Amino acid sequence: MKYIKLAVIEAVLISAILFILYDTLPAAEEPLFRPYNILEAYNLHNEVYKQPYTNKNPPSRSFEEPDYGLLSSPPPSSHTCNTEQTPKLFIGIFSTPEKSDRRSLIRTLMSNYFDRIDKSILDYSFIVAQSSDNTENEEILKESERFADIMSLDIPENMDNGKTFHFYKHLHQLHAKNETFQPQFVTKCDDDTMLVIPALLNSLKELDCNQNIYWGTSAGRSQHFPEYFRGLAYILSWPLVKWIGNSDISTLHQQGIEDARTGQWMQSLNYIYPKQSLKRVDNLWDMGDWNQLALKESTLALHWQHFRLKLPEWWVKQAQLIDQAWKPDSEMGQWHWQGSYSPDDEKKERYRLAIMDRNSAREKAESAGETFDEELYNEQHPEVNDSV
């Protein structure tokens, strides 16, 4: 009886201590039990993902930790890439249901390449998820039936709530149904990015798709996350696509800024046995905003984030310049550089260097936990306003 009383007293004391700790300690940034539904999870974590990030307001710790779903998935080394399989490059252009005009423009420009190459070398789809407007979903279905170039994902449309993961999952499922579909490399690309296809294909020539290739640009990325490539466009080799698409990534690790999240998935390779190496191909400022880059032989992608009003005109103009600068060889899928015909290239190059200096100043300030005053910097450095 004496021991029973002591056990009861001990249990009461422990309960009281736990209650006091629970009541006085700050709440955890993330719930102990992760919700299943992606949108529910995003709402719970909305405070965690607020920007701008600083040393006092860092991103969620989930960007640092490995994901069990990835760790328990068959590793990339178990997925081979057959260099005879096609297409060599598959481009997933992330779009949203209402952007039919943008898709029409891109579709027209992409069709020019298929006069010179076939889909054994290059193929693409617009990646679109489900709208809350049924009329838009019906229109997407009609557009898909007409052009056969839309990959529809069975999730709510979103940017940072798992769309990238479900894109890779869909590719994995396509391969499971039809093994002849096995791209060597897969591009995730925003619909305000123009890929310089000839330069892009040339840059992949020397890469082995059986390696874990992570291709993109770190130029201009946030310093508050582990190494990642910006979401304007990045490429994964097939073993990485299969590894991600075949996994059961937790909803928490599907969310958040999508390009930084992909970088976090790559970090998980460090915890896999047998050891998985990762080859990063960082193209730096050969990819960036259109008015930061002169069109030169190494230019791989032009981005239009801040220039939406004149977007169609600039897309057409840049496409013409690319067409003049790159000429197809007799061998299928090969181009040679003839030189840029843009009269604005010298001015663009000066502007690009000025923007690089400003980005370096911003990164230095963020690393020191300081607020970067872009307006003041622009006043002190008028060259950054000298846009073409």
Q: Assess contact for 124 and 93: CB atoms under 8 A.
A: yes
Inform me whether the pLDDT recorded for 136 exceeds 60: yes
Q: Is 380 helix (H, G, I), strand (E, B) or coil?
A: helix
- Give residue-wise pLDDT tens across range 341-375: 556 666 776 777 777 788 888 888 877 888 888 88
Kindly indicate the confidence band of residue 62, based on its pLDDT and cuts at 50, 70 and 90: confident
Give the CA radius of gyration of the chain.
Answer: 24
pLDDT tens profile 200-259: 999 998 899 999 999 999 988 887 787 899 999 999 999 999 999 999 999 989 988 999
Tell me which of 85 and 77 has the higher pLDDT.
77
Confidence at 17, pLDDT banded by 50, 70, 90: confident
Quickly list DSSP for 248-294. ---SGGGBSSHHHHHHHHHHGGGG-SS----EEEE-GGGEEEGGG--
**pTM value?**
0.77
pLDDT band at 154 (very low <50, low <70, confident <90, very high): very high
Stretch among 147-156, 191-200, 240-249, 330-339 having the lowest mean pLDDT: 330-339
pLDDT band at 24; cut points 50, 70, 90: low
Which amino acid, one-letter code, is at 151? Answer: M
What beta strand segments (E) does the chain contain?
Answer: 89-94, 122-130, 150-156, 185-190, 193-195, 213-216, 233-237, 279-282, 287-289, 301-303, 326-328, 335-337
Instruction: Please state the rounded mean pLDDT for residues 144-170.
Output: 96
Rounded distance between C-alpha atoms, residue 117 and residue 328, angstroms: 9
- State pLDDT tens for residues 333-350: 788 898 875 566 667 767
Structure token digits, residue 55: 């040393």
38 or 183, which is more confident = 183
Chain CA centroid to CA 53, Å = 19
Provide the CB-side half-sphere exposure for 269 (13 A, CA).
22
Instruction: Provide the percentage of residues in the chain whose pLDDT is more than 70.
Output: 82
**pLDDT on residue 364:** 83
Give Cα separations from 277 to 8, 185, 187, 237, 280 (angstroms): 54, 17, 20, 13, 10
Specify the pLDDT at position 103.
96
Q: In Å, how far are 50, 244, 247, 254 from 72, measured between CA atoms?
A: 30, 11, 8, 16
Q: How confident is the model at residue 305 (pLDDT cuts 50, 70, 90)?
A: low
What does the alpha-carbon distance between residue 144 and residue 163 come to, in Å, rounded to a whole number?
A: 19
The CATH code for residues 59-335 is 3.90.550.10
Q: Across all residues in the chain, what is the average pLDDT?
A: 83
Q: Specify the pLDDT at position 14.
A: 78
**Where do the domains of the chain lie?**
59-335, 341-382
Residue-level pLDDT at 21 = 60
What residues contact 22, with CB distance under 8 A and at least 6 apart? none
Residue 105 CA to residue 315 CA, distance in Å, equals 8
Q: Which of 32-46, 191-205, 243-257 has the lowest mean pLDDT?
A: 32-46
Query: Can you give the pLDDT at residue 30?
Result: 37
